[in-house]
């Protein structure tokens, strides 16, 4: 991971107090005029919003099939500019957001490392973000630090130029837009079997440091009769904050380290990789945990409709030969990310009405 220049950090009065509040108490601060403004937490999305956004993503997808439709989409936001501030490695989140912007006609600027910005001169991330806000209408950030996007949104919301901030991943904490695309993918994969309600979902791998499974778990409260199976080595078990959330919302979950035993039971298997970049010494974590890999021999053990997901990047958790099976949904999943992110941006800028009107 990249080394950060020593920053001349100053205190932001009120931040610590705000950050320590319960998430539910803070959600209003990320709304404006009764609708979503900053996208920081998965807890910001309710069922109505999720259904609406999946529908909007479908509409954008239909329009984008034709040259004329693409032209109409590009004419929606050509007067808006977005900044992609991605100072933690990313392939899919970066590219899907960038292409979502292109689809809607936004212009995009990017910064993919603090080494090329004034942060090497000691500028604080807060001042850096404030500078972006001077030039663009939307900031999408990915950062190794938990709470980063939230702080940026909080800082900007107190300035005279608050622009929306979207959290594209904040350390091992949350990845709310990944959860959106995961929901969109699951709903699509379960299209012929009644959608996501009532389904059993296994999450496998590093559940402790994987932000995608954390954000997705939060969204499960929006679906009826969902049951979760957390499958991990003991040291990577899902953290207590998520488990308490599930208990509070009456979502049944089970924990196990016996992956094969749950394979025949579930409707979806969400694979993840070991997140060793968060280790003090990443090279010391060379263990690959083969009992938590999905192999071709397992294909005969799962339901005919079982969807296999992975936020990617993949290492060894899924054998490449599995890709050929129609139940391997991860390549479709990454593409879903572009459509749902386009839907999210269209919603933030309030142009969804024009999209729905096109298809009336």
Q: Which residue number, 69 or 294, has a Cβ lying nearer to ligand NCD?
A: 294
Window 81-120: residues binding ligand NCD (CB under 6 A): 92-93
Window 207-236: residues binding ligand NCD (CB under 6 A): 211-212
Task: Name residues whose C-beta falls within 8 Å of residue 328's C-beta, 6 or more positions apart in sequence.
Answer: 308, 318, 322
Q: Quick check: 341 binds ligand NCD (CB under 6 A)?
A: no
Q: Quick check: 167 binds ligand NCD (CB under 6 A)?
A: no
Task: Single out the residue of 278, 312, 327, 335 in contact with ligand NCD (rule: CB under 6 A).
Answer: 312
Active-site positions read: 92-93, 121, 142, 175
Q: Which residue number, 81 or 92, has a Cβ lying nearer to ligand NCD?
A: 92
Q: Which residue number, 137 or 178, has a Cβ lying nearer to ligand NCD?
A: 178
Q: Quick check: 74 binds ligand NCD (CB under 6 A)?
A: no
Q: Quick check: 273 binds ligand NCD (CB under 6 A)?
A: yes
Tokens linked to 168: 């594209």
How many residues can be counted in the chain? 360
Q: Quick check: 293 binds ligand NCD (CB under 6 A)?
A: no
Residue sitting closest to ligand NCD (CB): 311
C-beta atoms surrounding 277 within 10 Å: 14
DSSP element (H, E) containing 31: strand 31-32
Task: Single out the residue of 178, 185, 215, 232 in contact with ligand NCD (rule: CB under 6 A).
Answer: 178
Among 228-236, 285-293, 310-318, 324-332, the segment contacting ligand NCD (CB under 6 A):
310-318
Task: Name residues whose C-beta falls within 8 Å of residue 137's C-beta, 6 or more positions apart in sequence.
Answer: 80, 81, 82, 106, 163, 164, 349
**Bridge partners of 167?**
141
Q: What angle do CA 30, 201, 236 make, to 5 degrees?
A: 75
Q: Which residue number, 74 or 92, has a Cβ lying nearer to ligand NCD?
A: 92
DSSP 86-102: E-S--SHHHHHHHHHHH
Omega within 30 of 0 (cis) for the link into 313: yes
Report the chain's C-alpha Rg in angstroms: 20
Which residue ranges make up the site for ligand NCD (CB under 6 A)? 92-93, 169, 175, 178, 211-212, 272-273, 311-313
């Amino acid at each position: 991971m990249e080394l950060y220049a020593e920053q001349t950090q100053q205190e932001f009065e009120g931040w610590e107090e705000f950050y320590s509040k319960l998430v539910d108490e803070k959600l209003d601060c990320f709304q404006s005029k009764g609708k979503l403004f900053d996208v920081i937490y998965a807890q910001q999305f309710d069922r109505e919003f999720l259904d609406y956004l999946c529908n909007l993503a479908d509409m954008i997808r239909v329009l984008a099939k034709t040259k004329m439709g693409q032209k109409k989409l590009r004419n929606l936001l050509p007067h808006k500019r977005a900044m992609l501030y991605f100072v933690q490695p990313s392939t899919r989140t970066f590219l899907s957001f960038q292409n979502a912007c292109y689809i809607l006609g936004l212009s995009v600027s990017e910064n993919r490392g603090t080494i090329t910005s004034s942060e090497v001169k000691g500028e604080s991330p807060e001042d850096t973000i404030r500078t972006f806000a001077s030039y663009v209408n939307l900031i999408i950030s990915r950062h190794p630090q938990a709470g980063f996007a939230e702080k940026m949104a909080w800082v900007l919301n107190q300035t005279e130029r608050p622009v929306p901030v979207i959290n594209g991943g904040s350390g091992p904490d949350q990845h709310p837009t990944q959860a959106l695309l995961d929901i969109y993918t699951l709903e699509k994969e379960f299209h012929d079997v009644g959608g996501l309600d009532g389904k059993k979902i296994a999450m496998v791998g590093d559940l402790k440091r994987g932000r995608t499974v954390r954000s997705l778990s939060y969204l499960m409260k929006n679906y009826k009769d969902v049951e979760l199976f957390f499958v991990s080595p003991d040291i990577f078990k899902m953290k207590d904050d998520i488990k308490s959330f599930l208990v509070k919302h009456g979502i049944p979950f089970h924990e196990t380290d016996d992956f094969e035993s749950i394979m025949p039971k579930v409707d979806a298997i969400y694979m993840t990789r070991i997140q060793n970049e968060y280790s003090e010494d990443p090279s010391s974590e060379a263990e690959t945990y083969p009992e938590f890999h999905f192999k071709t021999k397992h294909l005969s053990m799962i339901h005919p409709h079982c969807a296999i997901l992975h936020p990617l990047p993949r290492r060894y958790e899924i054998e490449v030969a599995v890709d050929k099976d129609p139940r391997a949904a991860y390549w479709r999943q990454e593409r879903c990310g572009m459509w749902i992110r386009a839907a999210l941006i269209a919603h933030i800028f309030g142009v969804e009405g024009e999209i729905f009107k096109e298809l009336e």
